[in-house]
Structure 1
Amino acid sequence: MNRVVRIIHSDSAGGICLLITAILGVIAANSPFAHQYFELLEFHIGPMPLLEWVNDALMAIFFLFVGIEIKREMICGELNTNAKRFLPVIAACAGVLTPAAVYYLIAGHDPAFVHGWGIPTATDIAFAIGVMTMLGDKVPSAMKAFLSALAVIDDLIAIIVIAIFYGGGVSFQFLLYAAIVTAVLVYLNKNGYVRPVPYAVLGFVLWYCVLKSGIHATIAGVILAMTLPATGVHQGKEVTPMADWDHALDKWVTFLIIPLFAFFNTGVSFGDFTVQDLFHPVVFGVIFGLLIGKQLGIFTTVYALVKAGAIKMPNNTKWIHVYGTSLVCGIGFTMSLFVAALAFDPGIVQERAKVGIFIGSILSGVIGYAVLELAHKFRHKHDKLELSN
């Protein structure tokens, strides 16, 4: 029993759970029960099908969790000073723009495919951190901190991209309502309200207003996160509401929301898939965006900044560590699947995009792991030679 508890609390558990449910989604879509699986996705609960409840409602809670992580890092973590923010911000921006450009060069010639440029721009925090965790102390701690900060900034950029480019027709009436609710949340924060109920109720109202506004509803989660107080006083005692929300959401997000999202969004049917489909512009664009675009953007940015003297090389780090970490950032998965569902309507093109995400993410993770493992072996041999001499 203690072993199970340790596994659940381990850093890699979320990535493992996500991987298992993603595989189950693919199996379900290609099994004798495929018809029932796709019917389940369209099963209506109230005004929306189950898939929309997962993608619009449950993922809003996921984005609330991500927003809390971003705010925490900016207050007391790897992004709490301008000096710390500089490298991951610049690298993350390059790691978004380059994959988008790679995708555009491959698939942008067709107006039906061009909207998918945002798919390879995201890094999946759970999987990327999971790869680093599996490597343990073989990876310099500076690279782990760099990856964590970069992934947080990457998520923030992805949120902005979703809000601006992947919404529907905008309703200014509901945007005004959302702005009023946000103002009330800010008022509560500024005046020291720390109890969770007002924030939860207003958060739900905000989600509904954003959903109806045409901007993607998940953005409400981020807005709510930014208005949660980090510290406060309740009945004469100092409290930490933001940390309490983070702790309360952690296991729900890791072991329910993200696995459900993966199960419902990875259901790609390979019945009609052929070898020729691997050369589809969307498949190629996503694969090369994740595998080539990410590493190219991040590695060249770090290299240029170090060589220009703008930053110092991270402690105990070689260029092979930077390169391996840049490769690991090509694991898109959760965010990429989410953007794919917004970029393309259900059908062949969306399924091709998902295939590209699977292949690009797997290659990035496996090659990145191998490069970092190799870097450790070379370093270990080098240290032994120095000792023997």
Structure 2
Amino acid sequence: MTKPRHRLSHFTAAAVRLFGGEAGAGLLLISVALIALVLANSPWATPWHDLFHHLLPITPIGRLNSLHAWINDGLMAVFFFVVGLEIKREVLDGELSQAEQRRLPVLAAALGMAVPALVYLLVTREVPSLRAGWAIPAATDIAFAVGVIALLGKGLPPSLRLFLLTVAIVDDLGAVIIIAVFYTAGLQLGWLAAGAFVLAAMAALGRCGVRNGWAFAVGAVLAWFCVLHSGIHATVAGVLAALTVPIGLDRRGESLLLRMEHVLAPISAFVVVPIFALANAGVAIPRALPHGAALLLPLGIGLGLLGGKTIGIFGAVWLAERSGFAKRPAGATWLQMLGLAALCGIGFTMSLFIAGLAFAASPALIEDAKLGVLGGSLLAGLAGYAVLRWSQRPA
């Protein structure tokens, strides 16, 4: 499909130039996470926490009564909208458009989500109240992982990065399904029907040849508002709305889906996700490490991210090649596949997001979960970087 001749907005273009694309997005996210972590353990910890969690004096939407709620339930819908655009593009016109191309990424993503969940459930099996967090270590943070790949330079085969991207796309789709199915309670059928009607109307606009981006943007906001009140997490509406955006070329030879993705992807990477990190990555590090039952939650998450992801993804590639189901990425060594599998254990953004859903009624458990996410992601990133760097050494 022809790439649309579209100019990025001045803001997004400047962000890409300033931070250097994918590597810059990962470095920015790391920097913001460190700032949040430092502030959460500084003399300004209390006002920093209150900034996001105190009730707002005025809010146009009652359900969003704090800055933290506006970020997690509102702003993050933009992130999920971009995820939806990427999923549709890859499935219809990308690396997931053909069955033989989908085999390995789908298998790797499936085992890469299942094995960490099993590791988590095994570690926390003695505490039933922790079972709700099984999906926390199942997600991969594409910004961090691709950022690390970019920092390693051009010594790695291009197929390795492409495999990471396709696995992450399938992983994101799996995470969205998990959120919609397992973290939904108290459905409001009226609001759900209204949201479905809006999405159907957006799909009809696309079929009728409408290519006005503002029409789909307004529709996405309406769908988000309905889903927000339906009981399903509002960010799911971002993905569903994105799937209605047409990818076909218009009279000028441009694709509305690609045009919207080119504008929104930098905003998501350089604005939305860093703001989410500021609001969610700050965790007060205890003076004494958790022990006993309190240790099981961060330990289960950390081991799931570091060990479960590595075993699941590397094992999937090994099984696929040994059985003839699919071949590993062209030019990639087994050592590089091991390093890439470890990198996929960086769960940061989506893992923090799911932790907030899993333990919404228990702030203390959310803080413990953050320790596991940050610790596991850090170790997975360092391990993946070290293995991939070692794989670049001359034989």
| TM-score, length-scaled by structure 1 | 0.93
Task: Looking at secondary structure, tell me which structure has more helix per residue.
Answer: 1
1:194 equivalent to 2:211? Answer yes
Moved more, 19-28 or 311-320: 311-320
Gaps (5+ residues) in structure 1?
383-389
Q: State the partner residue of 2:227.
A: 210
Say if 2:104 and 2:327, in contact at 8 Å, map to a contact too.
no
The alpha-carbon deviation at position 9 of structure 1 amounts to: 3.6
| Alignment-mate amino acid for residue 27 of structure 2 | I
Q: 2:49 aligns with which of 38, 41, 55?
A: 38
Question: What is the distance in 2 between the residues matched to 1:40 and 1:282?
Answer: 27
Say if 1:175 and 1:210, in contact at 8 Å, map to a contact too.
yes
Structure 2 vs 1, CA of residues 105 and 314 (structure 1 numbering), >3 Å: closer, same or farther?
A: same
Q: 1:23 aligns with which of 34, 44, 49?
A: 34
Structure 2 vs 1, CA of residues 255 and 131 (structure 1 numbering), >3 Å: closer, same or farther?
A: same
The alpha-carbon deviation at position 108 of structure 1 amounts to: 3.1
Question: What is the distance in 2 between the residues matched to 1:202 and 1:275?
Answer: 46
Gaps (5+ residues) in structure 2?
1-12
Question: What is the distance in 2 between the residues matched to 1:375 and 1:246?
Answer: 34
Per-residue CA deviation, residues 98-122 of structure 1 (Å, 9 max, x unaligned), is 0000000011331211100000000
Structure 2 vs 1, CA of residues 342 and 288 (structure 1 numbering), >3 Å: closer, same or farther?
A: same
Structure 2 vs 1, CA of residues 316 and 237 (structure 1 numbering), >3 Å: closer, same or farther?
A: closer
| Partner SS, residue 253 of structure 2 | strand
Say if 2:115 and 2:304, in contact at 8 Å, map to a contact too.
yes
Q: Identity rate of aligned residues, in percent?
A: 39
Per-residue CA deviation, residues 150-198 of structure 1 (Å, 9 max, x unaligned), is 0110001000001111123111111111111111011011111000122
Moved more, 260-269 or 136-145: 136-145
For residues 288-327 of structure 1, what are the structure 2 equivalents within 5 Å? Answer: 288-327=303-342
| Partner SS, residue 176 of structure 1 | helix
For residues 1-389 of structure 1, what are the structure 2 equivalents within 5 Å? Answer: 6-43=17-54, 44=56, 45-46=58-59, 47=62, 48-233=65-250, 236-271=251-286, 273-274=288-289, 276=291, 280-345=295-360, 346-377=362-393, 380=394, 382=395
| Alignment-mate amino acid for residue 334 of structure 2 | W
The alpha-carbon deviation at position 5 of structure 1 amounts to: 6.4
Question: What is the distance in 1 between the residues matched to 2:293 and 2:25?
Answer: 29
Instruction: State how many pairs are aligned.
Output: 376
Structure 2 vs 1, CA of residues 109 and 277 (structure 1 numbering), >3 Å: closer, same or farther?
A: closer
| Alignment-mate amino acid for residue 327 of structure 2 | K
Say if 2:19 and 2:28, in contact at 8 Å, map to a contact too.
no
The alpha-carbon deviation at position 322 of structure 1 amounts to: 1.0
Say if 2:127 and 2:293, in contact at 8 Å, map to a contact too.
no
| Alignment-mate amino acid for residue 295 of structure 1 | T
| Alignment-mate amino acid for residue 328 of structure 1 | L
The alpha-carbon deviation at position 313 of structure 1 amounts to: 3.5
| TM-score, length-scaled by structure 2 | 0.91
